[in-house]
C-alpha cells in the first residue's frame, strides 16, 4: 500500500480513480486529481505549510521522480503532464500536456508552458519562463525550437498512454490506497477544508 503520511495537519488527497503505486510516498499537502498516476518509488513531499503539490487530472509522475514544495510557492503539475523517470523539481509550474524527460530538473519558481518537451537531463533554472510548445534541452535548459509535427503528436499521446496503463494496473488488482486517503465524490476529504492551500 502507498505510504501516505500526514504532516502539519495535512493528509495527501487522492481522487478515487487515481493510481498510486504501492511503494510511492506522499507526504502532507499533496493533491492527486482524477485519473492521475503516481508510479513506483516516486516521492511527493508536500511539507510546506502554505503551498501544496497538485498533480492535475490525467497527469503521471513516473518511477523514482522526486517532487518537493518550498517557500517559493506551490508545485503545480498540469493536466495530462508526463513527468519522466527520476525527474526532480520543486515549487514550479508545469503546463498542461507537457512532457518532462527522464532525470530532468526544474528549479523553484520556474514556469513551463503547455505542450512543451523537456529533453532527458535538462535543467530548467530558477525563475525561468518557458513558452508554450517549446522543445527545451541542455544544462542550463534552453529553448531549441518550437514543438511541431510528429513530436507534437507524441507529446499529446504521452499522457493518454499512462492513463490507460494505470487503468490496466487497477484492473489487475494492484490496490494502492487505504480508503481513508481518498477524496470523496465532491473531491474533498473530511480532514481537508475546501479552499485550504
pLDDT tens, residue by residue, 143-186: 999 998 888 888 888 889 999 999 999 999 886 655 445 444 44
Average pLDDT over residues 48-61: 97
Whether 30 is in a domain gets the answer yes
Please give the residue range of the domain that contains residue 23.
Answer: 3-175
In a domain, 188, yes or no: no
Question: What is the model's pLDDT at position 178?
Answer: 53
| pTM summary value | 0.87
**170 in a structural domain:** yes
Q: Helix/strand/coil (H, E, C) string of the chain?
A: CCEEECECCECCEECCCCEECCCCEEEECEEECCCCEECCCCEEEECCCCCCEEECCCCEECCCCEEECECCECEEECCCCEECCCCEEECCEECCCCEECCCCEECCCCEECCCCEECCCCEECCCCEECCCEEEECCCCEEEEECCHHHHHHHHHHHHHHHHHHHHHHHCCCCCCCHHHECCCCCCECCECCCCC
Q: What is the pLDDT of residue 173?
A: 86
14 inside domain: yes
CATH number reported for the structural domain that contains residue 152 in this entry: 2.160.10.10
Pick 179 or 88 by higher pLDDT.
88
Of all residues in the chain, the percent with pLDDT exceeding 90 is 80
The total domain count for the chain is 1
Amino acid at each position: 500500500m502507498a505510504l501516505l503520511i500526514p504532516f502539519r495537519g495535512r493528509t495527501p488527497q487522492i481522487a478515487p480513480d487515481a493510481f498510486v503505486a504501492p511503494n510511492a510516498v506522499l507526504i502532507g499537502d499533496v493533491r492527486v486529481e482524477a485519473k492521475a498516476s503516481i508510479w513506483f518509488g516516486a516521492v511527493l513531499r508536500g511539507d510546506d505549510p502554505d503551498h501544496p503539490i497538485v498533480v492535475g487530472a490525467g497527469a503521471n509522475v513516473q518511477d523514482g521522480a522526486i517532487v518537493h514544495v518550498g517557500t517559493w510557492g506551490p508545485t503545480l503539475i498540469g493536466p495530462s503532464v508526463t513527468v519522466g523517470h527520476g525527474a526532480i523539481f520543486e515549487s514550479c509550474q508545469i503546463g498542461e500536456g507537457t512532457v518532462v524527460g527522464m532525470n530532468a530538473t526544474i528549479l523553484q519558481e520556474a514556469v513551463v508552458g503547455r505542450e512543451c518537451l523537456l529533453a532527458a537531463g535538462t535543467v530548467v533554472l530558477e525563475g525561468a519562463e518557458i513558452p508554450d510548445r517549446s522543445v527545451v534541452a541542455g544544462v542550463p535548459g534552453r529553448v531549441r525550437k518550437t514543438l511541431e509535427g510528429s513530436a507534437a503528436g507524441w507529446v499529446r499521446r504521452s499522457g493518454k498512454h499512462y492513463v490507460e496503463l494505470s487503468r490496466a494496473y487497477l484492473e489487475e488488482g494492484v490496490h494502492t490506497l487505504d480508503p481513508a486517503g481518498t477524496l470523496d465524490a465532491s473531491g474533498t476529504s473530511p480532514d481537508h477544508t475546501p479552499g485550504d492551500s
